Structure 1
């Protein structure tokens, strides 16, 4: 009778036993395959965006770290105020226009010195007002970004806070020494 009972016990496998022996390893392999596929996709995307194929040779942990660093840099770029290049370009254009006005007035024989002086003084005052408004706007933007709380998703690690502090630290004030034609 004993051999018959053994054959009956082996024929009957509970759902839990079947799950533990067959289904769970299969599901785990599928989950790992999905994770590896997503990691490979992330690896190629970061390599494309960075323009650096070195990330393709990294192991998974290094690639994830590189992807996080890249994404943090992109977030900082997006949160940073618009590049100061347009304002600098405008200032340069303004100064070129003032120089050209000064040259034209100097070459015009019937130009009154008082009128020229008044025009140049007005242009200088407007330029100073524009510089002050730009400085106030930069200070307000820096204060706003400094008062912004850190991301609630921050892990609290030193590297997280170091990069966040670097992103919100006020930038050094630019010197206002500039050549002026008046």
Structure 2
């Protein structure tokens, strides 16, 4: 007589506990690790500091929380005004450099040069007006007098007289094919 093998019946619960649960747990941990790595990379990128990449998971999470709290505080804190004087100076230096480069470019068209410099002047005026509006409102509240707008910025491209002539007549002042800053 051959030995009879007993068929072992494994219930669904036993199968889940022995096979499925460890597999699901490994998958859950893999997802968590992937998300932690992504978070670590993002925080390192935003902070501009790669030191966070060498931290363990708990330290990295703490660093991420600190970073996010700082960002939240920055958003809630009143924004201090950016010193416009340094920006204006930089803008005017850039305009001067653009004017110089265009003057040195042999094939530069007068019309293109005027268009570029006019655009830069208009943008500078717009910047001055937006900067003056809060100051003017504050000044109007303090005293009833009206302040004068700032004088136009000289870009070094043409004189104020030429500017008023150009505003009066829309035709180009010169038919010279080479652009010059004077």
TM-score, L = length of structure 1: 0.44
Structure showing greater relative contact order (alpha-carbon pairs closer than 8 Å, 6 or more residues apart): 2
Report the structure, 1 or 2, having the larger helix content: 1
TM-score, L = length of structure 2: 0.44
